[in-house]
Structure 1
Amino acid sequence: MRKEFAEKCRILAVAGIIASGILTGCGKAQESETGRETVELVWYQLGETQKDADLVLRKVNEYTVDKLGVSLQIISIPGGDYTQKMQTVINTGSTWDLCFTCSWANDYLQNANKGVFLALDELLEDTEMYQNIDERFWKAAQVQGSIYGVPSEKELGNMPMWVFTKEYVDKYNIPYEELHELEDLEPWLEVIKENEPDVVPLYITKDYTAPTYMDKILDPVGIEYGDDTLTVKNVFETERMKETLRTMRKYYQAGYINQDAAIASDDKAVKRFVTKGDGQPYAELIWGKDLGYEVVTSPIMDTSITNSSARGALTAVNAQSSHPEEAVALLNLINTDEYLRNLLNYGIEGVHWERVAVSEAEAEKAKGKPYIYDTRVKLIEGASRNYSVAYWVQGGLFNTYVLENEPLDKWAVFKEFNDASEEAPSFGFDFDVEPVSTQAAGFRTVLDEFGKALYTGSVDPDEYLPKLQEKLETTGIQKVIDEMQRQVDEWKETR
């Protein structure tokens, strides 16, 4: 029944002629200013409430009511509070239709397994977005064989990078593109230490994680990249991590690392030579804009696609929603309609942003090519600060316009990056933690106690690593490893 009704709503939505009587059947109807009945969808999003949010939303709703007979109420929750407050919303049975979810906030896997999110397979199968979005995003969105969220198409893989201040790269002729592993940095950290007393050679904060060549399926347990045997390990027992922690300690003692690293929050005013970031193509343009000066980057390791990286941003539908068909139709429109996507992303043209002319040569080069648009965006100073949302929260990136300092082919390069990214051997495996939930619950406490100090080099790993290992063993890490290995072995047989 639902499949037939979804198809009816889809056809009418595409045609732009959904009738008010049908909408009343889809869910709660409201009367718009034009007298037309509409369905209102409540959407929880991660991010700060914007000063001009209502102004932009009125414009959005004018368009979506005309196209789909759907209006939106968006409720924004700051990132630091998002997971906790969304759990309250979910547990108290509040009315909502859509929410942001991912691998690191409002946990996608956990909520899908608990039945919070609706399985969308039948509603998705005939949509344009389902055909357009890279199938590996949909593979990652599967939980026990069903899709519970629409992924925001962006970078697929995990791409940690070193981020270098260009001023010092140029000044000392540093071959930054050849610097990948942590140990490659040492001679240049020494150069900066000796010649730039006001500069932190390697600037890191409490959120820093030393380069980890592993898919940490349940931190600190996982499978190393490139390990086709799919052997489950404790990351702190791998030789590579042990050597990395010793190198961090060496750098800390040499004065290359800021001494408050284990407790520091990012301070943009701190002069630094290099820091670590989780990157993507052209990430240096975003970081440079944020810092106020040019940076250049070098990848730390090959890009690997994991469930966690491919679940970096999704939108889920409430399993209790009265109008899931309209919710999916809205997400399809956002992910395929150039005007709506850019309105949500940048705000109102002429108020928050304006178009930047491109050369005839650039326009000609872009013509007819996928993921390349002949439009650049210039943010209007002052007004743009009143509407500045996280670009990956509301939908995919590949139909957004690029900023004035970005190349027209930015999204084409992203697509090439995704096409070239390799799947980790563990990609597609989901760990059911329930059999060892008691043991796993203690990991976070142990990592909070030792992780920041060890990762930043603030303590001697030869002294503190055994203490961490002892506490993990007491917590029951071996039971978790054994259970994960058992599930991985079963999963291997079904691939």
Structure 2
Amino acid sequence: MGRIKCIKTKKLISSLSIVLFFIMTLTFFTSCGNNSNKVGSGGQKITELTWYTIGLEPKDYKQVITEVNKYLEEKINVHLNMKFIDFGDYTQKMSVIINSGEDYDLAFTCSWAGDYLGNSRKGAFLELNDMLNSDSGNLLFTTIDKRFWDGASIDGKIYGVPNQKELGVAPMWVFTKEYVDKYNIPYESIHSLEDLEPWLKIIKENEPGVVPLYITKGFSYTVFFDQLVDPVGILSDDETLTIRNMFETAEMKKSLDTLRRYYQLGYINTDSATAQDDKSVKRLVTKGDGQPYAEKIWSKDLKYEVVASPIVDTLVTNASATGALIAISQNSKNKEKSFEFLTLLNTDKKLRNLLNYGIEGVHYEKVSENSIKLLNQDQRRYEIPYFGLGNMFITYTLDNEPDTKWEEFKEFNDKAKVSPALGFKFDASRVSSEIAAINNVLEEFKATLYSGSVDVDEYLTKLNNKLKEQGIDKVINEMQSQLDAWKSNN
């Protein structure tokens, strides 16, 4: 701390200055205090856990977290400090937090945000095997479906607690029911991108204020492919486990040509390359990744009714099996308490639902023991990504959902097809610089290509040439070598 230079105007410092200095000093040391100085209502030590999670902070967060902390204090002498990072910023901001060595306790992580595989391999997350194998860890381990633990396993080690939900990836077309009913659209028989065409034409010709196929910047069409590292992987039904660049496959070329044609016909919104999801935009259909009763959640969020049909069969991949986890930071000073909290989060119905839905009587009301009705939905005072907060199978169902919802989720998981590469974890350490360069190329080209707004032959050639320049063939060869070795041992 540098010296404070004062201009001497009087021989004595005024009494007021002394008081102000004392207050500032006291405030500084109070704000820099640690968990050991925090005591609960009964005089017991309280551990404060800092948890980074994905999404925007709900308007009523402070009100809800106050109730959460009352309950946590009673149960395990813990207070929770949740820090929210929006979806588009999560990976980059968490990378900065991790690389800075910040002392936090918990973090959302997965295959598509927060880089579960990469951060685990570089030691950012705590290995949980010993804790899970202990007597106290048995409850948590047995609560979560073993297939989620298998998905979380990296070279036999587990670095995050999976949020139990749907196990496979289920790409769906999401239709606005108003237009389905108006034009008698047989949505349940519509699956491929090409199946949409006659209905997109009808909407274009008859509904001038409606976008037939609504595409935003995050759109992709990889339903035929298991990406092990974007854009490298295998065709989803390829038992030979041949590694390919997805953008060099006939399947991708066909899909991009179709999107281009749709754009030229005016079936796709003109800002598709840059658009953020605007719920006010009227559309016939958009694409979503779903699960049983996903249309109920989408309808609630959009505030109008939608229906959905699967594009392809549900597929369990390495990415989907690690679609949502919570990890403990290797730098956490509260590792045991963090694990104790995660156990409670995944097994305690009251805590899980409080975080999920807010406060009974304020944000929802019960209609039965395990079913609720959300209140004041138009105000959206407490909206939070449910999948990021632990075991979904102990959350209440909504009043428009069947009581059997979670049993049907389990059946959905059991029926899903499995990628031939499930269980393989690529070690990218030898090609990390190439992958970083490839990601920069993808950032430049992907949204534009998927938007349908550019010539496919021209831009696809440019993309693949740049990918080769940045070493994609080296990544493919390294992955193929590792996959062949994995296959021979499985």
TM-score, with normalisation over the residues of structure 2? 0.88
Please give the alpha-carbon distance, in whole angstroms, between the structure 1 residues aligned to 2:305 and 2:238.
37
SS at match of 1:216: strand
* Pair 1:489 & 2:478 matched: no
Of the three residues 425, 431, 435, the one matched with 2:420 is 425
Any stretches of 5+ residues in structure 2 without a counterpart? 1-34
Kept in 1: contact 2:36–2:45 (CA 8 A): no
Q: Within 5 Å, which residues of 2 pair with 1:341-360?
A: 341-357=352-368
Kept in 2: contact 1:29–1:39 (CA 8 A): no
SS at match of 2:42: coil
Kept in 2: contact 1:189–1:256 (CA 8 A): yes
Please give the alpha-carbon distance, in whole angstroms, between the structure 2 residues aligned to 1:434 and 1:305.
25
Kept in 1: contact 2:232–2:245 (CA 8 A): yes
Which deviates more, 160-169 or 184-193?
184-193
Kept in 2: contact 1:221–1:232 (CA 8 A): yes
For each residue in 1:62-121, what CA deviation from the matched residue of structure 2 results, as whole angstroms up to 9, or x when unmatched? Answer: 222222233323223333333333233322322222111111222111110111111111
Counterpart for residue 37 of structure 1: 45
Counterpart for residue 93 of structure 2: 85
What is the CA distance between 1:29 and its match in structure 2?
6.9
Please give the alpha-carbon distance, in whole angstroms, between the structure 1 residues aligned to 2:57 and 2:460.
42
What is the CA distance between 1:260 and its match in structure 2?
2.2
Counterpart for residue 146 of structure 1: 157
Q: Within 5 Å, which residues of 2 pair with 1:259-338?
A: 259-338=270-349
For each residue in 1:235-291, what CA deviation from the matched residue of structure 2 results, as whole angstroms up to 9, or x when unmatched? Answer: 111111111111112212222222221222222222211111111111111212222
Counterpart for residue 10 of structure 2: none
Q: Within 5 Å, which residues of 2 pair with 1:232-251?
A: 232-251=243-262
Counterpart for residue 377 of structure 1: 372
Kept in 2: contact 1:43–1:98 (CA 8 A): yes
Counterpart for residue 65 of structure 2: 57
What is the CA distance between 1:146 and its match in structure 2?
0.5
Counterpart for residue 468 of structure 1: 463
Which amino acid counterpart does residue 392 of structure 1 have in structure 2? F
Q: 1:30–1:266: structure 2 CA closer, same or farther, 3 Å change rule?
A: closer
Please give the alpha-carbon distance, in whole angstroms, between the structure 1 residues aligned to 2:303 and 2:64.
28
Counterpart for residue 208 of structure 2: 197
Please give the alpha-carbon distance, in whole angstroms, between the structure 1 residues aligned to 2:445 and 2:377.
43
Of the three residues 227, 234, 242, the one matched with 1:231 is 242
SS at match of 2:386: coil
Counterpart for residue 168 of structure 2: 157
Please give the alpha-carbon distance, in whole angstroms, between the structure 1 residues aligned to 2:304 and 2:330.
46
Please give the alpha-carbon distance, in whole angstroms, between the structure 2 residues aligned to 1:77 and 1:34.
34
Of the three residues 142, 160, 168, the one matched with 1:131 is 142
Please give the alpha-carbon distance, in whole angstroms, between the structure 2 residues aligned to 1:280 and 1:164.
15
Please give the alpha-carbon distance, in whole angstroms, between the structure 1 residues aligned to 2:464 and 2:113.
27
Q: 1:337–1:90: structure 2 CA closer, same or farther, 3 Å change rule?
A: same
Please give the alpha-carbon distance, in whole angstroms, between the structure 2 residues aligned to 1:356 and 1:212.
39
SS at match of 1:377: strand
Kept in 2: contact 1:351–1:383 (CA 8 A): no
Which amino acid counterpart does residue 472 of structure 2 have in structure 1? I
Of the three residues 62, 65, 71, the one matched with 2:79 is 71
Q: Within 5 Å, which residues of 2 pair with 1:206-225?
A: 206-225=217-236
Please give the alpha-carbon distance, in whole angstroms, between the structure 1 residues aligned to 2:177 and 2:381.
31
Kept in 2: contact 1:353–1:384 (CA 8 A): no
Q: 1:81–1:258: structure 2 CA closer, same or farther, 3 Å change rule?
A: closer
Kept in 2: contact 1:129–1:335 (CA 8 A): yes
Kept in 1: contact 2:171–2:223 (CA 8 A): no
Of the three residues 99, 108, 114, the one matched with 2:122 is 114
Please give the alpha-carbon distance, in whole angstroms, between the structure 1 residues aligned to 2:377 and 2:183.
37
For each residue in 1:320-362, what CA deviation from the matched residue of structure 2 results, as whole angstroms up to 9, or x when unmatched? Answer: 32332221121111111111111111122122221124xxxxx
Q: 1:40–1:413: structure 2 CA closer, same or farther, 3 Å change rule?
A: same
Which amino acid counterpart does residue 399 of structure 1 have in structure 2? I
Please give the alpha-carbon distance, in whole angstroms, between the structure 1 residues aligned to 2:218 and 2:191.
20
What is the CA distance between 1:406 and its match in structure 2?
2.0
Of the three residues 450, 458, 481, the one matched with 2:445 is 450
Of the three residues 97, 102, 107, the one matched with 1:94 is 102
What is the CA distance between 1:49 and its match in structure 2?
2.7
Kept in 1: contact 2:40–2:77 (CA 8 A): no
Please give the alpha-carbon distance, in whole angstroms, between the structure 2 residues aligned to 1:213 and 1:73.
41
Q: Tell me the C-alpha RMSD between the 2 structures.
A: 1.9
Please give the alpha-carbon distance, in whole angstroms, between the structure 2 residues aligned to 1:195 and 1:426.
45
What is the CA distance between 1:384 and its match in structure 2?
7.1
SS at match of 1:186: helix
Please give the alpha-carbon distance, in whole angstroms, between the structure 1 residues aligned to 2:112 and 2:249.
24
SS at match of 1:197: coil
Which amino acid counterpart does residue 427 of structure 1 have in structure 2? L
Please give the alpha-carbon distance, in whole angstroms, between the structure 2 residues aligned to 1:54 and 1:273.
38
Please give the alpha-carbon distance, in whole angstroms, between the structure 2 residues aligned to 1:465 and 1:226.
24
Kept in 1: contact 2:204–2:211 (CA 8 A): yes
Counterpart for residue 382 of structure 2: 387
Please give the alpha-carbon distance, in whole angstroms, between the structure 2 residues aligned to 1:293 and 1:352.
20
Which amino acid counterpart does residue 46 of structure 1 have in structure 2? I
Please give the alpha-carbon distance, in whole angstroms, between the structure 2 residues aligned to 1:204 and 1:59.
39
SS at match of 1:385: coil
Residue identity (%) = 55
What is the CA distance between 1:422 and its match in structure 2?
1.8
Kept in 2: contact 1:262–1:453 (CA 8 A): yes
Kept in 2: contact 1:205–1:265 (CA 8 A): yes
Please give the alpha-carbon distance, in whole angstroms, between the structure 1 residues aligned to 2:73 and 2:423.
38
Larger Rg, first or second structure (1 or 2): 2
Please give the alpha-carbon distance, in whole angstroms, between the structure 2 residues aligned to 1:449 and 1:75.
30
Which amino acid counterpart does residue 313 of structure 2 have in structure 1? D
Counterpart for residue 365 of structure 1: none
SS at match of 1:442: helix
Of the three residues 417, 429, 432, the one matched with 1:434 is 429
